[in-house]
């Protein structure tokens, strides 16, 4: 893996030098991350089953997308604060494998309840924040208690899938669906036909009775059948300069070479 990381880094900067995009094409923080963060490059390689050339294509398109959506600049002051405080989505606790939970309370959302573009910015903000907080993977937890078919949003669901498939490599641990209404079974089975194999295998349908297989009862909220009486309240991100470039910088191996310098594509309009 170490050699593949070195090769990916070299190929990226050779491509950058050859194609000479404008200074605005890639964000400086992403360039720094490619230079210094072995763990980030490793995720691209793992996502593409060790294929360095496919990893390069994904890394390149990811950097372009990140610049287009201003991923590095999003924070609680420039996204929709009302959405952040609504309780529809937030992070709390970890699953049994120690992965951070990103919770979506389905009953609080319908296709018309949120502006999709504003919602996308909030989700990207949270993914960036979770990376900065040192999470290598997350489990997306759909709390579907008391929801029905009106709470299912095809465009939003597709957006989440494409984030993991194209722009946040090897970041998804599980999709956990708690108490999914039976009326959505056919819809889920249809969606699975078009999902990437890796994502499809990570979908876990659970009930309150067997949720303990994925989340300890002391972490699970009482409304999920657990014992935790946590009540959501949005907490602004704690800024940490050590973790300033999308994650932890300490104890990371850094590989520089003398060459280092300072397709399956989605519809990018969905992210803008």
Q: 105 - beta bridge partners?
A: 143
CA dihedral of residues 79, 165, 144, 135 (deg, nearest 10): -70
pLDDT for 47: 96
How does pLDDT run across 116-132, given as a tens digit for each residue? 999 999 999 999 999 99
Condensed to tens digits (0 to 9), the pLDDT of residues 62-119 reads 999 999 999 999 999 999 999 999 999 999 999 999 999 999 999 999 989 999 999 9
- pLDDT of 155 higher than 80: yes
Lowest mean pLDDT among 12-21, 186-195, 207-216, 251-260: 251-260
pTM value is 0.87
Domain extents in the chain: 2-73+252-271, 81-224
Cβ neighbours of 18 (radius 10 Å): 7
Question: Which of these CATH numbers, 3.30.1390.20, 3.40.50.300, 3.40.525.10, 3.40.50.2000, describes 81-224?
Answer: 3.40.525.10
- Which single residue is written with the structure tokens 């002391």? 218
Tokens of 11: 């190929």
* DSSP3 helix / strand / coil % (the chain, rounded to 5): 45, 10, 40
Alpha carbons 143 and 215: distance in angstroms, whole number:
13
Half-sphere exposure of 211 (CA within 13 A, CB side): 28
**Is-contact 220 227, C-beta < 8 A?**
yes
Strands 203-206 and 138-143: unpaired
Best CA proximity match to 42, nearest among 109, 136, 178, 130: 136
Predicted confidence (pLDDT) per residue in 20-59, tens digit: 666 567 999 999 999 999 999 999 999 999 999 999 999 9
Phi-psi region of 151 (alpha: psi -120 to 50; beta: other; left: phi over 0): alpha
């Amino acid at each position: 893996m170490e050699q593949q990381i070195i090769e990916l880094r070299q190929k990226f900067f050779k491509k950058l030098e050859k194609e000479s995009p404008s200074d605005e094409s890639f964000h400086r923080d992403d360039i720094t991350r490619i230079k210094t963060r072995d763990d980030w490059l490793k995720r691209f390689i793992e996502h593409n089953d060790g294929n360095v050339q496919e990893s390069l294509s994904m890394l390149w398109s990811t950097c372009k997308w990140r610049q287009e959506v201003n991923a590095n600049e999003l924070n609680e002051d420039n996204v929709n604060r009302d959405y952040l405080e609504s309780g529809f989505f937030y992070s709390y606790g970890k699953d049994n494998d120690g992965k951070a939970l990103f919770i979506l309370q389905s009953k609080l959302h319908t296709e018309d309840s949120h502006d999709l573009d504003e919602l996308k910015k909030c989700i990207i903000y949270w993914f960036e924040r979770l990376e900065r907080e040192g999470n290598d993977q997350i489990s997306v937890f759909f709390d579907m208690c008391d929801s029905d078919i009106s709470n299912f949003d095809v465009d939003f669901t597709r957006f989440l899938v494409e984030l993991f498939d194209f722009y946040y490599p090897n970041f998804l641990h599980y999709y956990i669906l708690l108490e999914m209404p039976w009326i959505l079974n056919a819809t889920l089975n249809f969606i699975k036909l078009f999902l990437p194999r890796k994502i499809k295998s990570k979908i876990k349908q659970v009930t309150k009775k067997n949720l303990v297989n994925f989340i300890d009862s002391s972490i699970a909220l009482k409304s999920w059948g657990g014992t935790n009486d946590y009540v959501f309240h949005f907490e602004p991100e704690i800024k940490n300069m050590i973790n300033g470039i999308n994650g932890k910088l300490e104890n990371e191996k850094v590989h520089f070479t003398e060459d280092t310098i300072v397709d399956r594509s989605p519809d990018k309009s969905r992210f803008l």
